[in-house]
Amino acid sequence: MLDVQEYRSDLVRLGMHKVAHQDVTLMDHMLRACTILQDMKAKEHICLAGLFHGVYGTEGLHNDDVESIPDWKRVEVREVVGPQVEQVIFNFSVMSYASLGKSFRNVMRPTGKPDIKDRRTGEDIPMDRDEFLDLLRMKLGDVLAHMPPQVGHSLVDLPTEYGGFWKMAAEYLGPDAISTWNKFTGGELCIDTEQK
């Protein structure tokens, strides 16, 4: 299992402890996302990608105004996590959320293929179904990491804004994702596993 503490100094060196992310630091958010992915039994390289998922920013963090990611920064991240994981982080950072939703609708069909787009250029980000499902699982971990851990927390109101889509994604991703979903959402968003 991935030891997240092993990467804490790398996150600090990259400045993630100084970046605000709603009510916490970006580093705290990314640590939480990684823990959620581990609970979901995501592949180790996806948990590691989740630990660094915001290092370049995302559509939600930078909206559509993001500049190109400097090559030196990609090299620096690649040295920490390796080329395969860095590519997942890069894809996660530059993908358009609209294309993530469209791709999910596509892959729900037996022969459907993902159609992930780079939000900066509109170009295709090539990936197969398994790579897409890893990316979807990673985004689900990110979304669950926004769940308010206490009353009065001002993070995203997941049930109101995104509940239906992400509940369906958790169901599609299977029992481990459902279990984690139920653990972090509870209440009316719980997925009834008895009907499965």
Q: Transcribe 145-189 into DSSP letters.
A: TTS-SSTT--S--HHHHTHHHHHHHHHHH-HHHHHHHHHHH-GGG
Q: What is residue 79's predicted lDDT score, i.e. its pLDDT? A: 95
* Dist CA 122 CA 131 (whole Å): 19
The model's pTM is 0.88
Check if the beta carbon of residue 127 is closer than 8 Å to that of residue 91. yes
State pLDDT tens for residues 6-47. 888 887 787 666 665 666 677 888 899 999 999 999 999 999
Selection from 62, 55, 129 nearest residue 85 by Cα: 55
State pLDDT tens for residues 102-133. 999 999 999 999 999 998 899 999 999 999 99
Q: Which amino acid does the sequence have at 17?
A: H
Selection from 105, 164, 174, 146 nearest residue 22 by Cα: 146
